[in-house]
Chain A
């Protein structure tokens, strides 16, 4: 059987088992993301194979593991976190429509560097009422035709990260950093490839973000920069501009 002839069901099984590497893995992962029929097939294989785990003897983890989980939860802000996340999600769904309008506005102003701060009527009809101008940045990713679009909404402290066209390589994540005028880099979160996502910007970063603020994108292990490691290599950079 050649690589391209195998039926989808077999590819889904290979992917569910974790047999794939490199380009095959990336292709399968991307398909799982945009092909619901394939994703369902993968999920079905996972369900089918799951009973094999019954052969694995359970082992009690040390009590310390739960203590570490609790400590990490406390850092997250505990109970409120999920509630805040859901609230944010609702807001994001609402903003989702608006971000298309923001993108249009960005495209318009990209060619009009001296544009007045008042946007043409119509384009901003869906935008949330803001008292401060949103900021936008466009990050071309070195060595690729791809770019990351960032829009910051100062009123809600939301950073909309558009990573459509990017796909995960299964080995790395990319993390966005704000370079403040003084002090250490502040993480603005890890990019989720292939989607538009809203990131809540932490308070110190929200204070520091202004037109002209510098941003970096670094390549990190999955999950973002480990707490005890230096940031990975910088793969892109950009500056915010008011739109």
Chain B
């Protein structure tokens, strides 16, 4: 994976600061730099172009209206934005406005890499990316469940139904997995 350039990272951070100050041009700059990344995330969770477009619009409008919520001293901007977009997309799923499974997962999941823009905005390059290695170190079952929760926005109940196991079983798989994930990331292995 290519590493983010310090320059693009600093530019984004500066734009986020200007955005918090009410600079409208800064919003466009942040949009140009990050919308492909965030649209990819919304699309992956929502599996529907129209829904993902609505979610993306909602993400940037909310960002503008509540620009003060981002703390440049705490989080990297792209990591924060990615989390923000994922949470908004998951919220949309939960409101029931989205018809789950309208697109079969097998068709929707591996999206074509049609426009590999914003590659210099990889989150990895800025943040400690131990999660990849630590997730790989888990057993198949908890790893796949945690991945599905992250990438598809599935709840415990949905995961249990999909894998045809009792809810309690799914919960203990995932909880054990999360506890190990935490231990692994804190151990710095």
**Are A and B part of the same complex?**
yes
Q: Which of B28, B83, B117, B172 contacts A58 (CB 8 A)?
A: B117
Report the Cα distance A65→B58, complex, angstroms. Answer: 10
- Contact A21 B155, beta carbon cutoff 8 Å: yes
- Contact B155 A53, beta carbon cutoff 8 Å: no
Report the Cα distance A72→B64, complex, angstroms. Answer: 11
The verdict on A20 contacting B75 (CB below 8 Å), with A10-B175, A50-B127, A54-B123 known, is: no
Report the Cα distance A131→B49, complex, angstroms. Answer: 53
Q: How far is the CB of A64 from chain B (nearest CB, A)?
A: 8
A61 within 8 A of B: yes
Q: Which of B68, B127, B171, B182 contacts A13 (CB 8 A)?
A: B182
- Contact A59 B155, beta carbon cutoff 8 Å: no
Q: Which of A13, A18, A65 contacts B57 (CB 8 A)?
A: A65
- Contact B132 A51, beta carbon cutoff 8 Å: yes
Contact with A along B1-45 (1 / 0, CB 8 A): 100000000000000000001101001100100011101110110
Excluding A7-B179, A47-B79, 11 further A-B contacts by CB distance (< 8 Å) are A13-B178, A14-B156, A18-B149, A49-B83, A53-B41, A56-B44, A57-B114, A66-B28, A72-B61, A73-B24, A171-B96
A48 within 8 A of B: yes
Report the Cα distance A214→B118, complex, angstroms. Answer: 51
Q: Name which of A80-88, A157-165, A181-189 contacts chain B.
A: A80-88
A233 within 8 A of B: no
Q: How far is the CB of B25 from chain A (nearest CB, A)?
A: 9
Contact with B along A41-71 (1 / 0, CB 8 A): 0010011111111111111111011101100
- Contact A59 B40, beta carbon cutoff 8 Å: yes
Contacts of A61 in B (CB 8 A): 35-36, 39, 52-53, 56
Contact with B along A8-41 (1 / 0, CB 8 A): 0110011001111100000000000000000000
- Contact A48 B115, beta carbon cutoff 8 Å: no
Report the Cα distance A15→B79, complex, angstroms. Answer: 18
Residues in chain B within 8 A of chain A (CB atoms):
1, 21-22, 24, 27-28, 31, 35-37, 39-41, 43-44, 52-53, 56-58, 60-61, 64-65, 67-68, 74-75, 79-80, 82-83, 86-87, 90-91, 94-97, 111-119, 122-124, 127-132, 135, 146-147, 149-151, 153-157, 159, 171-172, 174-176, 178-179, 181-182, 185
- Contact A57 B111, beta carbon cutoff 8 Å: yes
- Contact B123 A51, beta carbon cutoff 8 Å: yes
- Contact A85 B65, beta carbon cutoff 8 Å: yes
The verdict on A10 contacting B178 (CB below 8 Å), with A19-B155, A50-B127, A54-B123 known, is: yes
Residue on A with the closest CB to B59? Answer: A69
Contacts of B150 in A (CB 8 A): 17, 49, 52
The verdict on A57 contacting B35 (CB below 8 Å), with A50-B83, A65-B57 known, is: no
Q: Which of B53, B96, B114, B179 contacts A10 (CB 8 A)?
A: B179
Contacts of B75 in A (CB 8 A): 43, 47
Contacts of A86 in B (CB 8 A): 22, 68
Residue on B with the closest CB to A70? Answer: B28
Contacts of A17 in B (CB 8 A): 146, 149-150
Contacts of B64 in A (CB 8 A): 73, 81-82
Report the Cα distance A7→B180, complex, angstroms. Answer: 13
Contacts of B123 in A (CB 8 A): 50-51, 53-54
A78 within 8 A of B: yes
Q: How far is the CB of B127 from chain A (nearest CB, A)?
A: 6
A121 within 8 A of B: no
- Contact B31 A69, beta carbon cutoff 8 Å: yes
The verdict on A52 contacting B53 (CB below 8 Å), with A57-B116, A59-B39, A60-B39 known, is: no
Report 8 cross-chain contacts, Cβ distance below 8 Å, ordered by A residue.
A1-B171, A52-B147, A57-B116, A58-B118, A65-B53, A73-B24, A82-B21, A82-B22
